[in-house]
Amino acid sequence: MKSRVFGLESEYGLIFAPQGRVYLPMEKILGYIFEGLIPNSWPSNAFLGNGARFYQDTGCHPEYSTPECDNLFDLVVHDKAGERLLESCLPIAEKRLKEEGLPGKIYIYKNNTDSIGNTYGCHENYLLRRDVDFWKVAEQMIPFFVTRQIYAGAGKVLKVSGKCHYFLSQRAQHIHEKSSSSTTSSRSIINTRDEPHADAEKYRRLHIIVGDSNMSEYVTYLKVGTTALVLSLIETGFAVPNMELEDPVKAMREISRDVTLKKRVRLAGGKEMTAIEIQRVYLEKVKEYVTSEDDDDVSVDLLERWEYVLNELEEDPQRLSREIDWVIKKELITSYMEERGCGWDDPRVAMLDLQYHDVNQSRGLYSLLCRQDLVERIATEADIQRALEIPPQTTRAKVRGDFIRFAKEKNRSYTVDWTYLKLNGYWEETILCMDPFSSSNPRVSELIAAAVPHK
């Protein structure tokens, strides 16, 4: 696969269930969660020793940004590490609340909607060369993003016109435009905010806010991997012609509502195609590209999985009840409804929908399926635990992680962002890290070497 840096930003849903009639502002709950991870840290915003960023986002959501990754395996394990990190904060936060006479349970969900219709995102970031025509990339990728939900959607029980339906995607109904610089008021398929967190003369960032948060490692691998391949295809000069949709936002919502995957959406030229058919066009173009330009083991593996998933979706989506979030969850819910004799509008169904995303492994339904070996995995638990401490070793994240560990060991105050590192105090120094592909920095190496006692 072509060398590229990518990452995920996941906002998490947060609920506090007090024992008794107690109201607490969510900011206070979130403060205790951060206290469990970052003592004495306020405002809640910190980079961690594994290179990731953990902070409070708009709407009082805890958000975890993976470190910069340049391979899919690292991305999968660091995305999962975010779940484990938040889970580890729960006992400490609940203990602190109890000590203040405010006992209760805190629930954290890796999903995208709450019970009153608000949405929060899972944002994907792909480093893009500055000399590539951004709008050409955007136009050619919009049909791909609109239809990708057939395997990347997390599934959602949603009430429409007084009746509950099952949707493929949680985010699809909250997208309003083809492109926009906003991530809240006018959510779009392509976000145009130009914030590269790198050398702005060489790079820009493709910021995608249309996707769902995924529990399935298989989906995370496939979602980001196929997107990276399509992006490389277009960057290299290949084209996916005549695929522009007449109304991408409408098509996205129509596809999300159709669990049979038979819905045909209209292209700008008048032709109608299903989401599977559109995805196959991209698949075939990527096959041509990989054969001629980028034939490596990861690309070949992605193509095989992509084609397998499309074939199974066309034959019978339920065949993917080990791989794809929306299918796994739908099977869980329909089995429950058959057993209990209830319908989609039963409150217990809504609870199952939510509980699938619980990061507490003793409660979360996806975690239960993992323990029973009923879902496909990409990583082991040992891989995920390692990612809680160790950054990717082939990107800028390694430099950041090394610097943070050094500063903590020396009990030095420091300030960190994506592109710089700074030791605070009398010998204050700012170290720029503008190249996300660089896993070493001479000045950081000198600092660490100088601190090692000579024998």
**Which amino acid belongs to residue 423?**
L
Helix (H, G, I), strand (E, B) or coil at 196: coil
The residues annotated as belonging to the active site are 57
Could you tell me the pLDDT band of residue 23, with boundaries at 50, 70 and 90? confident
- CA 441 vs. chain centroid, Å, equals 28
Alpha-carbon radius of gyration of the chain = 22
Span 178-195, average pLDDT: 78
**pLDDT confidence of residue 452:** 64
Average pLDDT over the chain, rounded to whole?
A: 92
Residue whose structure tokens are 């708009």: 58
For residue 43, whether the previous peptide bond is cis, meaning omega lies within 30 degrees of 0, is yes
The answer to whether residue 304 scores a pLDDT higher than 90 is: yes
What H or E segment, with its residue span, contains residue 336? helix 325-340
**pLDDT confidence of residue 417:** 95
The answer to whether residue 43 scores a pLDDT higher than 50 is: no
CB atoms within 10 A of CB 278: 23
Could you tell me the pLDDT band of residue 428, with boundaries at 50, 70 and 90? confident
Could you tell me the pLDDT band of residue 42, with boundaries at 50, 70 and 90? very low
Q: Which of 210, 208, 138 is nearest to 169 (CA)?
A: 210
Tens of pLDDT, residue by residue over 333-388, are: 999 999 999 999 999 999 999 999 999 999 999 999 999 999 999 999 999 999 99
Tens of pLDDT, residue by residue over 198-232, are: 999 999 999 999 999 999 999 999 999 999 999 99
Phi, then psi, of 265 in degrees rounded to 5 = -115, 150
* Token pair of 211 as six digits: 């996707």
State the first-to-last Cα distance of the chain, in angstroms, to the nearest integer: 45
Q: Which of 112, 135, 165, 142 is nearest to 249 (CA)?
A: 142
**pLDDT confidence of residue 161:** 87
**pLDDT confidence of residue 313:** 98
The answer to whether residue 107 scores a pLDDT higher than 60 is: yes
Q: Which residues pair with 159 in a beta bridge?
A: 164
Interatomic CA distance for residues 279 and 151, integer angstroms: 10
**pLDDT confidence of residue 316:** 98
Please answer whether residues 23 and 86 qualify as being in contact, where contact means their C-beta atoms are separated by less than 8 angstroms: no
Helix (H, G, I), strand (E, B) or coil at 315: helix
45-47/122-129 β-pairing: unpaired
Could you tell me the pLDDT band of residue 453, with boundaries at 50, 70 and 90? low
The answer to whether residue 183 scores a pLDDT higher than 80 is: no
Interatomic CA distance for residues 134 and 80, integer angstroms: 30
**pLDDT confidence of residue 295:** 80
The dihedral sign for the CA sequence 399, 402, 407, 410: negative
Could you tell me the pLDDT band of residue 314, with boundaries at 50, 70 and 90? very high
Q: Which of 149, 337, 335 is nearest to 256 (CA)?
A: 149
* Token pair of 92 as six digits: 């400490």
Least confident of 31-40, 157-166, 399-408, 416-425: 31-40
DSSP letter (8 states) at residue 417: -
Give CA angle at 271 (268, 276), nearest 5°.
Answer: 100
* Token pair of 204 as six digits: 């820009």
Interatomic CA distance for residues 417 and 433, integer angstroms: 9
* Token pair of 199 as six digits: 């050398």
Q: Which residues pair with 268 in a beta bridge?
A: none
The dihedral sign for the CA sequence 396, 402, 406, 408: positive
CB atoms within 10 A of CB 393: 10
**pLDDT confidence of residue 308:** 98
